[in-house]
Structure 1
Amino acid sequence: MHNTSLKAIATKGIIWSAVDKFVVQFGQFVVGIVLARILLPEDFGLIGMLAIFIVLSQTFIESGLGTGLIQRQEREDIDFSTLFVFNLATSSFFYLVLFFSAPFISSFFEKPQLTDLTRILSLSLFLNAFAIVQRTKLTIAIDFKSIAKSNVIGMITGGLCGVIAAINGYGVWSLVVQMLIGSLASSMSLWFLSDWSPSIVFSKKSFRSLFRYGSKLLITGLYAQTLNNVYNICLGKFYPTASLGYYTRAKSFADISAGTIVSTIQQATFPILTSVQYDKEKLVSIFSRMVRMSAFFIIPIMTLIALLAKPIVILLLTEKWISLIPLLQWMVFARIFLPMSTINMNLLNAMGRSDLFLKVDLYKLPMTVLAMVITIPIGLKAMIIGHVVTSALSFIINAYLPGKFFGYGPINQLKEMLPFFVATIGMSILVIMISYFIDNLVLQLFSGIVFGLLIYLSICWLFKLEELTEVKELLLKFLKKTV
Structure 2
Amino acid sequence: MSLREKVVNSGTWNAGGKFVQLLSSLLITTILAKLLSPDDFGLIGIATVYIGLITEVTTIGFGSAIIPELKTSQIQLSSLFWLNFATNTFAFLLIFFISSFLAAFNNVQTLEPLLQLVSIKILLSTLHRMHRKLLEKELQFKSLAKIDIAAAIISGLSGITMAFTGFGVFSLAGQALTLEIVYIIFTRIYCKWIPGFHFSLPEIRPIIKFALQMKGSRIVQYFSRNIDFILLSKLLDVTSFGLYSFAYRIMYFPVKQISYVFIEILFPAFSKIQDTPVKIREGYLRSLHFLALITAPLMTAIALFATPIISMLWGEKWIGLSGVLPIFAFIGLVQSLDFIANAVFPALKRADILLRVLFIRTLLVVIALFSGARYGLQGIAAAILVAVFWGAAVSQFYLKKVISMKITDVFYHLAGPLAGSSCMILYYYSASHFFPENTTTGPYGLMTCVFIIYGAIIWIYDRKKVNFVWESFMKSRSSGGK
TM-score by length of 1: 0.93
Counterpart of 2:25 in structure 1 is 28
Structure 1 residues 50 and 133: alpha-carbon distance in aligned structure 2, compared to 1, 3 A threshold: same
Q: Secondary structure of 2:194's match?
A: coil
State yes or no: 1:425 paired with 2:422. Answer: yes
AA aligned to 1:280 is P
Q: Secondary structure of 2:2's match?
A: helix
Pairwise CA distance, 1:474: 7.1
Counterpart of 1:450 in structure 2 is 448
Counterpart of 1:189 in structure 2 is 186
Q: Is the 8 A contact 1:69 1:210 kept in 2?
A: yes
State yes or no: 1:125 paired with 2:148. Answer: no
AA aligned to 1:402 is L
- The unaligned stretches of length 5 or more in structure 1 are none
Q: How does 1:211-226 map to 2 (within 5 A)?
A: 211-226=208-223
* Counterpart selection for 2:467 from 466, 469, 482: 469
Aligned counterparts of 1:41 and 1:410: Cα–Cα separation in 2:
42
Pairwise CA distance, 1:321: 0.5
Structure 1 residues 33 and 435: alpha-carbon distance in aligned structure 2, compared to 1, 3 A threshold: farther
Q: Is the 8 A contact 2:331 2:388 kept in 1?
A: yes
Q: Is the 8 A contact 2:365 2:388 kept in 1?
A: no
Pairwise CA distance, 1:477: 7.8
Pairwise CA distance, 1:57: 3.7
Moved more, 251-260 or 326-335: 251-260
Deviations, residues 335-364 of structure 1 (Å, cap 9, x unaligned): 212132121231111111111111222233
AA aligned to 1:181 is T
Deviations, residues 103-151 of structure 1 (Å, cap 9, x unaligned): 0110011001111000001001111111111101101111011111222
Q: Is the 8 A contact 1:131 1:187 kept in 2?
A: yes
Structure 1 residues 198 and 64: alpha-carbon distance in aligned structure 2, compared to 1, 3 A threshold: closer
Pairwise CA distance, 1:231: 2.0
- The unaligned stretches of length 5 or more in structure 2 are none
Aligned counterparts of 1:364 and 1:425: Cα–Cα separation in 2:
27
AA aligned to 1:448 is L
Pairwise CA distance, 1:442: 11
Q: Secondary structure of 1:74's match?
A: coil
Counterpart of 2:389 in structure 1 is 392
Counterpart of 2:281 in structure 1 is 284
Counterpart of 1:460 in structure 2 is 458
State yes or no: 1:330 paired with 2:327. Answer: yes
Aligned counterparts of 1:194 and 1:295: Cα–Cα separation in 2:
32
Deviations, residues 343-394 of structure 1 (Å, cap 9, x unaligned): 1231111111111111222233432322122223432211111111011101
How big is the alpha-carbon RMSD for the aligned residues of Structure 1 and Structure 2? Answer: 2.3
Percent same amino acid among aligned pairs? 25
Structure 1 residues 96 and 453: alpha-carbon distance in aligned structure 2, compared to 1, 3 A threshold: same
Q: How does 1:35-434 map to 2 (within 5 A)?
A: 35-60=32-57, 63-434=60-431
Pairwise CA distance, 1:46: 0.3
Pairwise CA distance, 1:188: 1.5
State yes or no: 1:6 paired with 2:7. Answer: no
Pairwise CA distance, 1:306: 0.3
Moved more, 249-258 or 169-178: 249-258
Structure 1 residues 474 and 61: alpha-carbon distance in aligned structure 2, compared to 1, 3 A threshold: farther
Deviations, residues 5-52 of structure 1 (Å, cap 9, x unaligned): 112211111011112222212211111110001110000000111122
Deviations, residues 235-266 of structure 1 (Å, cap 9, x unaligned): 22222211111111111211233222211100
Aligned counterparts of 1:228 and 1:303: Cα–Cα separation in 2:
22
Deviations, residues 186-232 of structure 1 (Å, cap 9, x unaligned): 22211122110111222212332112111122112112212322322
Q: Is the 8 A contact 1:64 1:213 kept in 2?
A: no
Pairwise CA distance, 1:307: 0.4
AA aligned to 2:455 is L
Aligned counterparts of 1:181 and 1:14: Cα–Cα separation in 2:
27
Q: Secondary structure of 2:323's match?
A: helix
Structure 1 residues 176 and 335: alpha-carbon distance in aligned structure 2, compared to 1, 3 A threshold: same
Deviations, residues 386-431 of structure 1 (Å, cap 9, x unaligned): 1110111011101112212333144431342123211211122223
Aligned counterparts of 1:324 and 1:476: Cα–Cα separation in 2:
42
Q: Secondary structure of 1:96's match?
A: helix
Q: Is the 8 A contact 2:223 2:362 kept in 1?
A: no
AA aligned to 1:46 is L
Q: Is the 8 A contact 2:6 2:476 kept in 1?
A: no
Pairwise CA distance, 1:59: 3.1
Structure 1 residues 36 and 443: alpha-carbon distance in aligned structure 2, compared to 1, 3 A threshold: farther
